[in-house]
Amino acid sequence: MMAKPQVQYRCSECGHISVSKLGKCPECGVWGSFVEDVPEIEVTARPASRVPISGILPAEADLDVAVENVQPEQRMTTDIEPWDEVLGGGLVVGSAVLVGGEPGIGKSTLVLQAATALGQHGKVLYVSGEESRSQILGRVRRLGLDPKNLLLATTNSLADALAMADRARPVALVMDSLQSFSTEEDFFGSGTPAQLKITAAAIAGFSKKSGVAALIIGHVTKDGTIAGPKYVEHLVDAVLYMEGDRFGAYRLLRSGKNRYGRSGETGFFEMTSTGLVPISDPSSAFVTDVHNLQPGSVVVPAAQGSFAVLVEVQSLAATSYLPSPRRIATGLDYGRLMIALAIIERRAGTSAGGRDVYVNISGDFSVEDRGIDLGVALSLYSAIRNVAMRDGVMPIAEVGLAGDLRPVFNLHRRIELGARMGFREFIVSDKARDDLSDLHGLTIHRKRYVSEAIAASFPRVSDAGGESQ
């Protein structure tokens, strides 16, 4: 006797299944998205314990699991140095890499540059679901790129795109963009989380089976979730994010995940008429003048992956005419701004009450490194008191809620970077255990609390406790 199909409800946005119709999806939080879904019943199904092993394993299953027979990963490098460094030394053969970022940030431009550069290793197939082949070729010529070994195709069908890649057998496959491809059994609609997961899983599976490296472009909204990359991060081998102001000149490429290298690596680019140009010395690009800084300006080294870059923290405190003063942070987490304001009020006796406070990080990108905490606190103190820091002083420390200074990693490298830019005094935590004995001609102020760091940073308070190296 055939079993009666059980009625269930599926979310049209994320594919979440429920036995009852819900008003709000517990998975993606969308209201009114559940539709009736009747699953098919397999009447000939047998218990799993009675299914023979030969019916489980495909005929072409790879049963050679000896460690000594595993081949090392192979990489394909380009002439774009930051791109190769962020990937951990180049694009791994058979890997799937997701490149995300806001629309207009330069994802397609960078991937197109990388695709043409990968042409030295063989054919590269560029499949677009958004642009025509003439548009892509026009961009190639406008950027002055070499289209040798570049194959162009346009389709919105995922099956057709993978079929073309299977026939062409390129060394790399570019899918632009993830949101524009769909399957014949697409029940959810283009751009929904369920569609993105299905598409990304199919592309990643094709890469693993065929050995064709895949570069997948995905759009990101302001919260970085609805457009897709956050939903499919676990399906790909590496996730690269492009950051920066789409109307500005500078771009940052950051690896949020990398199974073949170190995550958190970053590369810096400048957007020009000929595409994205690598920046060899980001510090000189983001900080133009390290001397005679105005009140509210502090230069600090921010760790970006395995290296550091100098950024300028700019704060402004102005009289507020609103019942609730503004607190605006650009390039810095809003919560960290509020914590820094609370610390200098309770631990340094400086209140921003009745003032609008604005904080900006130079370079048009966000900084998550806690090593700039002291720089942010001193910048706020400088803006509220309207007094500039002493020339040539650089703060490098994390700040706790008790106002205590805590050590940061890569302290030696940060101090070296500051010294190259002309700084001669550095304020660090007294708990730092880094060997700084080879830093000659520099003064290292080892302080315990933020109040002591303030005393060593501003000219109105006498400095004490300096330690010469």
Question: Strands 393-395, 398-399: parallel, antiparallel or unpaired by DSSP?
Answer: unpaired
101 Cβ contact list (under 8 Å, min separation 6): 107, 219, 220, 241, 242, 243
For residues 362 and 287, the answer to whether their CB atoms sit within 8 Å is yes
SS3 category, 429: strand
Percent of the chain whose predicted confidence (pLDDT) is above 90:
61
pLDDT value at 158 more than 70: yes
Token duo for residue 123: 């054919």
Number of Cβ within a 10 Å radius of residue 89: 13
pLDDT value at 465 more than 50: no
Confidence class for position 40, pLDDT limits 50, 70, 90:
very low
Token duo for residue 205: 């599976």
pLDDT value at 224 more than 70: no
pLDDT value at 216 more than 90: yes
Q: Which residues pair with 150 in a beta bridge?
A: 124
Confidence class for position 295, pLDDT limits 50, 70, 90:
very high
Each residue's pLDDT tens digit, 178-204: 888 987 766 556 667 777 888 999 999
Confidence class for position 363, pLDDT limits 50, 70, 90:
confident
- Mean pLDDT throughout 57-63? 57
Number of Cβ within a 10 Å radius of residue 233: 16
For residue 228, what pLDDT is reported?
Answer: 53
Token duo for residue 267: 């590369």
pLDDT value at 1 more than 70: no
Query: Residue 56: what are its φ and ψ, rounded to 5°?
Result: -95, -45
- Mean pLDDT throughout 289-297? 87
For residues 143 and 112, the answer to whether their CB atoms sit within 8 Å is yes
As a whole number of angstroms, the distance between CA 292 and CA 129 comes to 51
Percent of the chain whose predicted confidence (pLDDT) is above 70:
86
Lowest mean pLDDT across 212-226, 232-246, 340-354: 212-226
Token duo for residue 351: 């209140």
pLDDT value at 464 more than 80: no
**Which residue is associated with the tokens 């001397």?**
291
Torsion over CA of 384, 386, 392 and 393, rounded to 10 degrees? -30
Taking each helix axis from N to C end, the angle separating 334-348 and 373-385, rounded to the nearest 10 degrees, works out to: 60
The length of the chain, given as a count of residues: 469
Q: Which residues pair with 359 in a beta bridge?
A: 315, 329
Task: Tell me the whole-structure pTM to 2 decimals.
Answer: 0.76
For residue 187, what pLDDT is reported?
Answer: 57
Token duo for residue 146: 């070499």
- Mean pLDDT throughout 432-454? 94
Q: Please compute Rg for the chain using Cα positions.
A: 27
For residue 316, what pLDDT is reported?
Answer: 97
As a whole number of angstroms, the distance between CA 138 and CA 141 comes to 5
Token duo for residue 216: 């997948």
Confidence class for position 20, pLDDT limits 50, 70, 90:
confident
As a whole number of angstroms, the distance between CA 24 and CA 158 comes to 30
As a whole number of angstroms, the distance between CA 308 and CA 395 comes to 14
Residue closest to 93 by CA, chosen among 222, 214, 258: 214
Question: Strands 443-447, 466-468: parallel, antiparallel or unpaired by DSSP?
Answer: antiparallel
Q: Which CATH number fits domain 284-468: 3.40.605.10, 3.30.230.10, 3.40.50.300, 3.60.20.10?
A: 3.30.230.10
Domain ranges of the chain: 1-44, 74-280, 284-468
**Which ranges of 314-424 would DSSP assign to H, the alpha helix?**
334-348, 373-385, 411-420
The number of angstroms, rounded, from the C-alpha of 363 to the middle of its chain's C-alpha atoms is: 15
Task: Give the dihedral sign, CA 288/290/295/301.
Answer: positive
Q: Which CATH number fits domain 74-280: 3.40.50.300, 2.120.10.30, 3.40.50.150, 3.30.530.20?
A: 3.40.50.300
Lowest mean pLDDT across 133-147, 152-166, 244-258, 267-281: 244-258
For residues 364 and 244, the answer to whether their CB atoms sit within 8 Å is yes
Number of Cβ within a 10 Å radius of residue 112: 26
State the DSSP H helix or E strand holding residue 141, giving kind and residue range, or none if neither: helix 133-142
